[in-house]
Amino acid sequence: MRLDATAELHAFRAEVRSFIRTHAPGRRTHAGVRAPEPALVPELRRWTARLYEAGYLGRSWPVEYGGLGDPRPEPGFVVAEELARARAWGQVGAGALASGALLAYGTDGQKRRFLARLRSGEDLWCQLFSEPEAGSDLAGLRTRARREGDHYVVDGQKVWTTNAQHADVGYLLARTDPEASRTRGITAFALDMRTPGVEIRPLREITGTADFNEVFLDGVRVPADRVIGEVGDGWKVAGASLAQERSSVAARSAELRNDFDDLLGLTAGPGTGGEHAPLDGGARGHLGRLATHVYVADLMSKDVQSRMAAGTDQPTDPAAVKIFYSETNLDAVSLAVRLQGLDGLLTEGDDRAVAGGYWQDALLYARAYTIAGGANEVLRTTVAERALGLPREPRP
Ligand SMILES: Cc1cc2nc3c(=O)[nH]c(=O)nc-3n(C[C@H](O)[C@H](O)[C@H](O)COP(=O)(O)OP(=O)(O)OC[C@H]3O[C@@H](n4cnc5c(N)ncnc54)[C@H](O)[C@@H]3O)c2cc1C
């Protein structure tokens, strides 16, 4: 589905396309949500500011916080499609999650400060939720925040923090009441990542890059006015963000549509980058099925985003679409590598690698989407129990 149903959207697409062509800083060379090279970060901050200024990001925000107060999701779909088409960078980091939490639960002062700094590209956010023993079981998180006068003192460890190495602010969950039941004693904070006691250690991944980090918090002092929402209400604040995160993973379907078009190019045979496996009946059937799935993932994603914008979504909608997108994406990139025959063994850095090794890297990264925003195995249980009403699994 391309959203040119109205003349207005058609004209908007042309405007966005030209804007990206003129201003975007370079093209992304890897699939997935990858941390940029440090040298590129200042340029990406300026690019983020331009996207907000043009009304291409934060369009639905209230006017008093710099938005256009436009609740329609369609312009956002067009922007996402055009960024994907150009393989241009979008906003780096967890800014979309943080702004959602602040708009829903932040004080007026927090909104004025943090939303303005997000818009100007001054603040790049990361998400400090997962811990070594609390990923799927997020309610088991142990990072502790103790009140001391007008501050909280935070001790603990986070992991899988994407872009922490570049972040100015962390959207942190910590336990403020160890006596309360698991979900009740958690509070959300906006943590200045340059506070003494914050230590960031990169994690090198199978892709060879370091997109994630471990973050150690040792006696970190956070002013009490940096609590987002009520003390003890962090689970509620995070719940809205996790739905947003799942739907934004699925929103990468716009990118998958482009990847699929490129994938079709791989079937053209010799002269297009290598000797490809002959397209037997099995591969043709696979491509046909995949074409349908890619199309459906895009439609589902836009449907869920539309319903979230209108407030008519069901709690399990983002989980269902995230499962469908991530497994379709994995299927697509696996087929892309298989279609390359023996060339599929060549990776980035080898002159003969098809498309510079893009597909091999995409295949390694594709597993990440089946885990990010909640592992698909766990989300399947959520859908089975909450959407289908199947009996609950006994909890340990
Ligand atoms: C690309 C990516 C980016 C991420 N970015 C961030 C970030 O910026 N900030 C952040 O806080 N976190 C981030 N994460 C972490 C992510 O939220 C966790 O990886 C996820 O919640 C799973 O937690 P875990 O890795 O601890 O796996 P675990 O909870 O240890 O689970 C491991 C596996 O066990 C299985 N499993 C566990 N529990 C169950 C169950 N109840 N039923 C069935 N199977 C189960 C699942 O297969 C699961 O994949 C990111 C992850 C990825 C992949």
Domains, the chain: 7-92 (1.10.540.10), 125-232 (2.40.110.10), 251-387 (1.20.140.10)
- Kindly give the distance from the C-alpha atom of residue 213 to the centroid of ligand 1, in angstroms, as a whole number: 14
Contact between 75 and 59 (Cβ < 8 Å): yes
Question: Which protein residue's CA is at the shortest distance from atom 29 of ligand 1?
Answer: 136
Cα 53 from Cα 268, distance rounded (Å): 42
Structure tokens that stand for 107 in this block: 């004080």
Mutate to test the pocket of ligand 1, among 159, 160, 205 (most ligand atoms within 8 A of CB): 160
DSSP class of residue 134 equals B
Please state the length of the chain: 396
Rounded Cα distance, 325 and 195, in Å: 38
| Integer Cα distance of 213 and 188 in angstroms | 20
Catalytic status, residue 230 = no
SS3 at position 122: coil
User: What values do phi and psi take at 312, rounded to 5?
Assistant: -110, 15
Determine whether the shortest distance from the Cβ of 162 to ligand 1 is under 6 A.
Answer: yes
Only one residue has tokens 């885990």, namely 371
Find out whether the beta carbon of 374 lies less than 6 Å from any atom of ligand 1.
Answer: yes
CB of 375 within 6 A of ligand 1: the answer is yes
Angle at 321 between CA 316 and CA 322, to 5 degrees: 95
pLDDT given for residue 157 in this prediction:
98
Residue 278 scores a pLDDT above 70:
no
Which range in 98-102, 245-249, 256-260 is most confidently predicted, on average pLDDT?
98-102
User: Would you say the CB of residue 136 lies under 6 angstroms from ligand 1?
Assistant: yes
- Regarding predicted confidence, which is higher, 334 or 279? 334
Among 81, 82, 131, 245, the active-site one is: 245
Q: How far apart are CA 334 and CA 208, in angstroms?
A: 19
Residue of the nearest CA to atom 13 in ligand 1? Answer: 160
Residue 144: band (very low, low, confident or very high) from pLDDT cuts 50, 70, 90: very high
**244-263 CB burial, b ≥16 within 10 A, e <16:** bbbbbbbbbbbbbbebbeeb
- Ligand 1, pocket-test mutation among 92, 157, 378, 392, most atoms within 8 A of CB: 378
How far, in Å, is the centroid of ligand 1 from the Cα of 132? 10
Determine whether the shortest distance from the Cβ of 378 to ligand 1 is under 6 A. yes
pLDDT mean over 334-348 = 90
Task: Give yes or no for residue 337 CB within 6 A of ligand 1.
Answer: no
pLDDT in tens, 152-184: 999 999 999 999 999 999 999 999 999 998 999
Residue 235 confidence (pLDDT) above 90: yes
Give the relative orientation of helices 7-23 and 74-85 as an angle to the nearest 10 degrees. Answer: 40
Would you state the structure tokens that stand for residue 332, as one six-digit string?
């697509």
Cα 250 to the chain's mean position, in Å? 9
Residue 367: pLDDT band (50, 70, 90) is very high
Amino acid letter, residue 149: G
